Amino acid sequence: MIEMMGSGFFNLKSIKTKPILPAEFLIDENQHIHRAHYGKDFSDHLPIAEILSWEK
């Protein structure tokens, strides 16, 4: 994480000017989307428990 932030890929100033909104998908081996989650802000993600318990 520290290396990524130092590389310039992730810019904290851009969060204010160009907010990053996460989008996460649970996709099976046949490329069917079973769950789509569009975050409201930078910290809004699918719960880890939901990802780990998801069965294809």
Eight-state DSSP code of residue 31: -
Show the tokens assigned to 49.
Answer: 């428990």
Of 5, 48, 45, nearest to 22 (Cα)? 45
Q: What pLDDT does 26 receive? A: 94
Terminal Cα distance for the chain, rounded: 30
- Band the pLDDT of 55: cuts 50, 70, 90: confident
Give the helix, strand, coil percentages of the chain, each rounded to 5: 30, 20, 50
**pLDDT by residue (tens digit) across 16-47?**
666 667 899 999 999 999 999 998 877 888 99
φ, ψ at 28 (rounded to 5°): -85, 180
Q: What pLDDT does 22 receive? A: 84
- Whether the pTM exceeds 0.95: the reply is no
Helix (H/G/I), strand (E/B), else coil: 33: strand
Q: What pLDDT does 13 receive? A: 66
